[in-house]
């Protein structure tokens, strides 16, 4: 497998402490497992304690070390408390992986302000709060902050306008942070995955929300986990998953009009491929533009401990 070929490059994380948000499923879960497998002590942060406990048990059964830290990253006080608890138990945090996020598909014309605000609270403010919670100590002893954004943070596509906006903001925040810190002491990296087979994607009607991308082409989350580990190991500033996938975004900088047309062609080709693969599940163009009913939270997050989330929200 691809991951097995990459693992030797990842090297050892022995004696390092990693805090992974959105660790209850998807990319966060696989990232935590990989770092633990490579020797790191891993703090698991998300809102679903039971899912974190299951993962922690699996890591320990495999010989690793894990700490369950139920956290709502969108709450500044909770983010600070999570980082403080990890430092109390293990003395420091060497690696922060900001992975938690939510996605609510909707065309910009019908995007609800409340849905955009919810995505910004987790996808942007969650990363900000966790970063601020670990940064002062990292600036003294060193460390790495890896933000899991998205290729949707480099190029807007429908019906993911709100999600794209939140990820564009995370990309900008990350790039700004990189200019603020001493790069020799604190490494700041971006991981930009495409469509990944995670609960955030599988929970939605992908044919309606992403008509240009057949589900058969979704990447396994292990690919993104490996990219995170490599970004830490080799101090990579930006990693697209799969490699080269950011070419369209780079082209858009030079020729946005041509890129819009190219995206239209790709969407049409994707719908055609989907119709040939699953004739019974073919989605008409009118349906593909309709806003799906449910909102979705990334695999790495869950219902807040202190409040009840809107019905149907889940993600990556």
Query: Which residues, at least 6 apart from 284, have a Cβ–Cβ distance to it below 8 Å?
Result: none
Return the C-alpha torsion angle 182, 67, 223, 175, nearest 10.
Answer: -20
Residue 224: active-site member? no
Alpha carbon distance 316, 196 (integer Å)? 8
Write the DSSP string, 172-234. Answer: HHHHHHHHHS-TTTEEEEEEEE-SB-SHHHHTS-HHHH-TTS-GGGPBPHHHHHHHHHHHHHT
Q: Which of 163, 168, 213, 223 is catalytic?
A: 163
The strand pairing partners of 193, in sequence order, are: 241
Alpha carbon distance 288, 211 (integer Å)? 6
Alpha carbon distance 187, 93 (integer Å)? 13
Cα–chain center distance at 316: 7
How are beta strands 238-241 and 186-193 bridged, if at all?
parallel
Active-site annotation, residues: 163
């Amino acid at each position: 497998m691809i991951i097995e070929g990459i693992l030797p490059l990842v090297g050892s994380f022995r004696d390092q402490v990693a805090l992974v948000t959105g660790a209850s499923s998807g990319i966060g879960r696989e990232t935590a497992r990989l770092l633990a497998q490579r020797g790191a002590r891993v703090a698991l942060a998300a809102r679903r304690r039971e899912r974190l406990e299951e993962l922690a048990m699996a890591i320990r059964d495999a010989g690793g070390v894990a700490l369950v830290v139920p956290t709502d990253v969108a709450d500044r006080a909770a983010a600070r408390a999570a980082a403080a608890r990890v430092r109390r138990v293990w003395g420091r945090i060497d690696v922060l992986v900001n992975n938690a996020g939510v996605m609510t598909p909707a065309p910009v014309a019908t995007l609800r302000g409340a849905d955009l605000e919810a995505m910004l609270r987790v996808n942007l403010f969650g990363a900000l709060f966790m970063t601020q919670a670990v940064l002062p100590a990292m600036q003294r002893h060193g460390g790495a902050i890896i933000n899991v954004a998205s290729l949707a943070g480099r190029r807007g596509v429908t019906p993911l306008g709100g999600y794209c906006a939140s990820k564009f903001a995370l990309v900008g925040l990350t790039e700004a942070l990189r200019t603020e810190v001493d790069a020799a002491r604190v490494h700041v990296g971006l991981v930009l995955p495409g469509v990944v087979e995670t609960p955030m994607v599988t929970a939605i009607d992908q044919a309606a929300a992403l008509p240009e991308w057949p589900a058969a082409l979704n990447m396994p989350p292990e690919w993104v986990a490996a990219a995170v580990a490599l970004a830490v190991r080799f101090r990579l500033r930006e990693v697209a998953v799969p490699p080269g996938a950011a070419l369209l975004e780079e082209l858009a900088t030079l020729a946005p009009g041509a890129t819009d047309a190219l995206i239209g062609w790709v969407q049409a080709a994707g719908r055609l491929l989907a119709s040939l693969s699953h004739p019974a599940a073919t989605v008409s163009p009118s349906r593909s533009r309709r806003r799906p009913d449910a909102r979705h939270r990334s695999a790495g997050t869950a219902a807040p401990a202190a409040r009840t989330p809107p019905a149907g929200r889940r993600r990556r």
